[in-house]
């Protein structure tokens, strides 16, 4: 039977589970996923681990994403940006445009149009940069660029959306966010074939295990990427 308590606001609210808010141990997370894979429900696992159902769901999703990263031997994620942004990045980490504006931080944007409308997100690629997009940005506004290597753990620990092609593509118009956040969406970045919005089909011919099927595949990280998750950066030629 669910227990209730009186909140600070004087409202009756469900009591928080015993382990609510406590960090998960690595082995505990792995065991959780094993039990889920065996068929235990979210509700059953919530009672076993004395945590909320949303905590169980998020932790399982995190483990599923870790598994894809491990299977594909992903060692780095990539973001490129105007070289003039480096000082800000070294101070604050990578921030989406919405946060930069909130903090009144000067920045130099890659794409003033932002056709994917993801102003609260940071676009990153898997393993190698999106050279097609970089060339397009450079042709519009020639400048010095840097490539930033990011810890792939970000894909599992931050709020991310996974796109098997360019995120601005019309093909995602009716795609549910729940799917884009899933390990299945990440897994499909490496599908045997990917069709973009123009009908062009990409296959895995001559692709390494850690390379997306469509080189324009991307991950949108919908929060900041802390300095601790930035592995390195270097100047690049277009």
The per-residue pLDDT for 90 is 96
pLDDT band at 140 (very low <50, low <70, confident <90, very high): very high
Residue 166 has pLDDT above 50, yes or no: yes
List strands edge to edge, sheet with 77-82: 160-163, 218-221, 122-126, 77-82, 145-150, 230-236
Among the four given CATH numbers 1.10.3470, 1.10.760, 1.10.287, 1.10.10, the one describing domain 14-71: 1.10.10
Output phi, psi for 162, to 5 deg. -115, 125
Digit-coded pLDDT (tens) for 39-90: 999 999 999 999 999 999 999 999 999 999 999 999 999 999 999 999 999 9
What fold is seen in the domain 77-236? Heat-Labile Enterotoxin; Chain A (3.90.210)
Q: Indicate if 77-236 has the same CATH topology as 14-71.
A: no
**Contacts for 74 with CB less than 8 Å, ≥ 6 apart:** 68, 126, 127, 152, 155, 210
Burial class (CB in 10 A: 0-12, 13-18, 19+), 27: exposed
| CA gap 81, 99 in Å, rounded | 16
Digit-coded pLDDT (tens) for 82-136: 999 999 999 999 999 999 999 999 999 988 777 677 888 999 999 999 999 999 9
**Structural domain boundaries of the chain?**
14-71, 77-236
């Amino acid at each position: 039977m669910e227990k209730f308590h009186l909140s600070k606001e004087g409202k009756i609210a469900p009591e928080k589970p015993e382990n609510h808010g406590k960090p998960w141990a690595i082995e505990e997370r792995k065991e959780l996923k094993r039990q889920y894979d065996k068929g235990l429900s979210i509700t059953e696992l919530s009672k076993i681990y004395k945590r909320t159902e949303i905590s169980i769901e998020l932790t399982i999703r995190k483990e599923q994403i870790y598994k894809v990263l491990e299977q594909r031997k992903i060692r780095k994620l990539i973001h490129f940006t105007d070289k003039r942004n480096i000082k800000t990045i070294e101070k604050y980490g990578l921030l989406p445009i919405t946060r930069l504006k909130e903090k009144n931080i000067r920045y130099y944007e890659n794409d003033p149009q932002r056709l994917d409308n993801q102003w609260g997100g940071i676009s990153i690629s898997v393993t190698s940069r999106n050279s097609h997009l970089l060339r397009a940005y450079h042709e519009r506004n020639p400048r010095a660029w840097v490539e930033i290597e990011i810890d792939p753990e970000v894909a599992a620990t931050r709020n991310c959306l996974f796109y098997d092609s360019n995120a601005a593509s019309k093909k995602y118009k009716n795609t549910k966010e729940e799917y884009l956040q899933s390990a299945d969406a990440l897994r499909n970045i490496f599908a045997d074939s990917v069709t973009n919005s123009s009908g062009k089909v990409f296959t895995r011919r001559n692709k390494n295990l850690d390379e997306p099927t469509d080189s324009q595949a991307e991950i949108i990280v919908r929060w900041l990427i802390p300095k601790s998750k930035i592995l390195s950066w270097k100047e690049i030629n277009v």
